Amino acid sequence: MDFGFYDLDLAIYDEMFVADGEPREHCRAVYEALRNTPREEFETIQERVTRSFSQEGITFTVYGEEEAEERIIPIDCVPRLLRLAEWRQLEAGLVQRIKALNLFLGDVYGECRIVKDGVIPADVILDCPQYRPELRGVRVPNNVWVAVCGTDIVRTHDGFMVLEDNLRVPSGVSYMIANRKAVKAGLRRLYRTCRVQEIEHYGSQLRRTLGELAPDGRKDPSLALLTPGTYNSAFYEHMFLAQEIGAELVEGQDLLVNDGFVYMRTTSGLRRVDVIYRRVDDDFLDPLTFREDSLLGVPGLINAFRRGHVTLANAPGTGVADDKSVYAYVPDMVRYYLSEEPLLLNVETRLCRRPEDLEYTLDNLEHLVTKRVGESGGYGMLVGPHSTAEERDAFAEKLRADPADYISQPTLPLSRSPCLVEGRAEPRHVDLRPFVLTGVETRIVPGAFCRVALRRGSLVVNSSQGGGGKDLWVVDLEGS
Amino acid sequence: MLSRSAQGVYWMGRYLTRAQYLSHLLELHVQALVDRPVGEIHFGWRRIYRAMKRLPPPGEEWLPEADEFALADSFTLADDLTFDRTNPESVWSSLERGRENARQMRHCISAEMWTCLNRAYLWMRDLEAVDIWRTPEAFYSRTCNEIHNFIGVADATMYRGPAWRFMRLGRAIERIQLVVSLILAQTDLSRRTRIPNLGWPSMLRAHRAAEAYSRIHGIEIQPDRVLDLLVADPLLPASLLSSLRAAAGELDAIETGPGVEADAAARRLSGRACAIILYDWPEAEERDDLIRRVGQCARDLHDAVLGAFVDYAIEDSPLR
């Protein structure tokens, strides 16, 4: 594989190389192996990996104007490497963060101490569309509101930073596992040499986590994974996870609530469900509580949840903690609830609801990334340096009309990692999404869905916007 | 097992059986295009369309008389039965639906089954029409083999739980309905054309019964003997009796459904259809009527299965 055209930019952290172009110590073996692998051989590996995704139907669905199309997430088979010691630091930060977020959710639907003590303004919470007053006073098993969290992490020269906490229905873990399986098969010898940490036990960890959250500590609880259905873009993942954890894959129509308990319709009658790993958004969970027109949900589900007869993972209402405005306060939450300094940095965030932040944002639109708080997937945002004057003017108008709906952040020079492009190595921007599981304890498998912006120069890693995937190898070179 | 999942694998079994059956019929028929008399070819088209209760596509000649397909272009007809997305019974539609059910129920089948079926689907999806019609026999033969492979892979890898039973139940019920329809189309057209033995050899080949027939009865084709084999021979996998017994066997292996009345009806119907063949068939004079009754039993059986395990009333169900 040819690295001759690999363009190092000193302003951007490179995952494989240091400033003088030498490979980082933990990347040396991979670099040498890649360099010595003929282009054709690497292309064959890449082709095989892509073909295996297609044949195994590892797809997501994209909806066009007329019909849905099953697509594979493009995968780049050059792994991104992380030292185990770096991973441990990241892991400690993630554990700390999810602990604070769970305490925040318990508080915000309970006593609201954090508001009363003036750490977070009440209107930041009350204005958040994901805040669910219907859930005030609810208690959840083990005080865990977020059992599965997918945290988006980026790296710059300043270190790792959290870009976003995904606390509702984070997706991507199936691609983490599929990428690993495919890349491992293509780079067998290298994989062994690098002593890569295993991630294949994610399913058993998830199963254990969900089991620990069963109502009243029920032994051997019955699990179901609630999917919006086959037309959902992440349906493959729902099916994959249901299989991994031995849960029934159910749709709303398969469930009913009787006398405050949830049952599923089976070929031998109605069977009680104890824990629902739900992959349906709050709005659609229960037409009696949330959106009346929802056909995806289960009437009475929230009542059963409130009574403690069924566990919903993640609990409804968790979106208030991953709102883009509330995000700015997570470091304060860590200090407030845990009396610790945050181990993971936040990206500096300006809330346009504050006049001074709005003014700063409007004055610096061309340098900032400005986002609508309620959007995700790379939509509703303006990447200043990549925008035209017309786009900025149009965006500024929206900002002025509803400032509370926007935040802005500096345009981060996301780190880059080598990718195979037209037969040679080229740098592309990457992030990573590790999955944090919380039951009685918090568990994180040493890996992540590593997203890569495949278009040259692009900073947008979302699969719906031209992003792809990469395998993340946490390597233990010291053999600890 | 979740009722909707049972329904999904049941339909997967039905659609794939349908795709395979029609592919095999078309394989034989496009072979016939090469060297068989025109009358026999027309007879074959009429039989297929009648069995499917379908009219040929607009533009093709459809007359009430024997030459109704005289002006029809065989490849247009084959295309209508193979790739037409608006024809829900076409090979492509059936394979696509079977694969879609498998996609939705991947967690109920083995990974090997899914990969096998998905590869077949991707192969067919990516074919160019020109490649198919250059050697259509090869295309139909491969389609059949892909589904054979899938069934073999299922046999080797699928857990023998309820999903396995419902998939096989779907296959058996579909087979009964297909065989009944084709036999009735054949006997009806035979009566009308009055050409001795027309279509009967291909009936044997369509049900992979030609070798068994010649072993048992020699080379002379007699319609009654062909019918005996296709209807009542317990050793022929494609016979109605074999399929009915398979359906009854799968039902026996499935725990009683919560739709109690429908469950009892399903078990009664499969038994009744077997009894019709075992006890009434040998002496029957109106054989078409008996076959129609078996076909009706299969349709009722389908409804009863769904009523017993899928669409049962909630209030009838025990809570577990």
Asked whether residue A370 is domain-assigned, the answer is yes
Q: How far is B31 from chain A (nearest CA, A)?
A: 31
CATH number of A388's domain: 3.30.1490.270
pLDDT at position A402 is 92
Asked whether residue A13 is domain-assigned, the answer is no
Interface predicted TM-score of the whole assembly (ipTM), two decimals: 0.87
Please report residues of B whose CB lies closer than 8 A to that of A255.
none
Q: What is the pTM of this model?
A: 0.90
pLDDT at position A1 is 85
Read off the pLDDT band of A356 (50, 70, 90): very high
Tokens of A171: 């997706």
Identify the residue among A69, A207, A222, A267 best suited for mutation to test binding to B, counting B beta carbons within 10 A and taking the highest: A267
Asked whether residue B135 is domain-assigned, the answer is yes
Asked whether residue A325 is domain-assigned, the answer is no
Asked whether residue B206 is domain-assigned, the answer is yes
Total domains, chain B: 1
Q: Find the CB nearest A239 among B4, B107, B320.
A: B107
Asked whether residue B62 carries a pLDDT value surpassing 70, the answer given is no
**Each residue's pLDDT tens digit, A275-323:** 999 999 999 999 998 888 888 899 999 999 999 999 999 999 999 999 9
Asked if A249 lies within 8 A of B5 by C-beta distance, the reply is: yes
Read off the pLDDT band of A147 (50, 70, 90): very high
Asked whether residue A214 is domain-assigned, the answer is no
Asked whether residue B48 is domain-assigned, the answer is yes
Tokens of A452: 């890569």
- Are residues A214 and A277 in contact, defined by beta-carbon separation less than 8 angstroms? no
| C-alpha–C-alpha distance, residues A105 and A317, integer Å | 8
pLDDT at position B69 is 52
pLDDT at position B240 is 97
| C-alpha–C-alpha distance, residues A467 and A463, integer Å | 4
Please report residues of A whose CB lies closer than 8 A to that of B317.
265, 269-270
| Percent of chain B scoring above 70 in pLDDT | 93
Read off the pLDDT band of A68 (50, 70, 90): low
Average pLDDT over residues B121-145: 90
Asked whether residue A84 is domain-assigned, the answer is no
Q: Find the CB nearest B162 among A235, A242, A267.
A: A267
Average pLDDT over residues A321-340: 96
Q: Terminus-to-terminus CA distance in chain A, angstroms?
A: 31
pLDDT at position B68 is 47
Q: How buried is residue A303: exposed, middle or buried, by Cβ count under 10 Å (0-12/13-18/19+)?
A: middle
Q: Which residues pair with A270 in a beta bridge?
A: A265, B319
Asked whether residue A386 is domain-assigned, the answer is yes
CA angle B268, B269, B274 (to 5 degrees): 100
Nearest residue on chain A to B100, alpha-carbon basis = A230
Asked whether residue B211 is domain-assigned, the answer is yes
Read off the pLDDT band of A80 (50, 70, 90): very high
| Percent of chain A scoring above 70 in pLDDT | 96
Average pLDDT over residues B144-162: 97
Which contiguous run of DSSP H or E holds residue B37?
none
Asked if A268 lies within 8 A of B104 by C-beta distance, the reply is: no
Range of the domain at A364: 348-410
Q: How far is A423 from chain B (nearest CA, A)?
A: 26
- Are residues A270 and B314 in contact, defined by beta-carbon separation less than 8 angstroms? yes
Asked whether residue B308 carries a pLDDT value surpassing 60, the answer given is yes
The segment with the largest mean pLDDT, out of A231-235, B56-60, B203-207, is B203-207
Read off the pLDDT band of A480 (50, 70, 90): very low
pLDDT at position B208 is 96
Q: What angle do helix axes B287-309 and B260-275 make, rounded to 10 degrees?
A: 160
Between the alpha carbon of residue A430 and those of residues A9, A183, A475, the distances in Å are 15, 17, 18
Q: What angle do helix axes B91-104 and B3-35 make, rounded to 10 degrees?
A: 160
pLDDT at position A464 is 66
Asked whether residue A115 is domain-assigned, the answer is no
Asked whether residue B66 carries a pLDDT value surpassing 50, the answer given is no
Question: Poorest-confidence range of A4-8, A144-148, B144-148?
Answer: A4-8
Closest to A297 measured CA to CA, from A265, A234, A254, A243: A254
| C-alpha–C-alpha distance, residues B303 and B266, integer Å | 8
Which contiguous run of DSSP H or E holds residue A371?
strand A368-372
Read off the pLDDT band of A66 (50, 70, 90): low
Task: Give residue for tokens 């865990």.
Answer: A144
pLDDT at position A62 is 64
Asked whether residue B45 carries a pLDDT value surpassing 60, the answer given is yes
The better pLDDT of the pair B13, B193 is held by: B13
Asked whether residue B89 carries a pLDDT value surpassing 50, the answer given is yes
Between the alpha carbon of residue A129 and those of residues A31, A322, A380, A443, the distances in Å are 47, 11, 16, 30
Per-residue DSSP letters for A273-314? Answer: --EEEE-S-GGGT-TTTS-TT-SSS-TTHHHHHHTTSSEEES
| Residue B287 CB partners (closer than 8 Å, separation 6+) | B187, B227, B281
Identify the residue among A236, A262, A266, A274 best suited for mutation to test binding to B, counting B beta carbons within 10 A and taking the highest: A266
| Residue B283 CB partners (closer than 8 Å, separation 6+) | none
Asked if B318 lies within 8 A of A270 by C-beta distance, the reply is: yes
Beta-strand ranges (E) seen in chain B are none
The better pLDDT of the pair A425, B63 is held by: A425
Question: Poorest-confidence range of A55-69, A333-347, B240-254, B257-271?
Answer: A55-69
Range of the domain at B173: 3-315
Total domains, chain A: 1
Asked whether residue B320 is domain-assigned, the answer is no
- Are residues A6 and A427 in contact, defined by beta-carbon separation less than 8 angstroms? yes
Asked whether residue A479 carries a pLDDT value surpassing 80, the answer given is no
Burial state string for A38-61 with b = 16 or more CB within 10 A and e = fewer than 16: eeeebbebbeebbebbebbbbbbe
Q: How buried is residue A401: exposed, middle or buried, by Cβ count under 10 Å (0-12/13-18/19+)?
A: exposed
Read off the pLDDT band of A39 (50, 70, 90): confident
Average pLDDT over residues A360-368: 95
The better pLDDT of the pair A465, B226 is held by: B226
Please report residues of A whose CB lies closer than 8 A to that of B118.
55-57
The mean pLDDT of chain A is: 92
Asked whether residue A165 is domain-assigned, the answer is no
Asked whether residue B317 carries a pLDDT value surpassing 90, the answer given is no
The segment with the largest mean pLDDT, out of A311-315, A398-402, A466-470, is A311-315
Q: By 3-state DSSP, what share of chain B in percent is helix, strand and coil, each rounded to 5?
A: 75, 0, 25
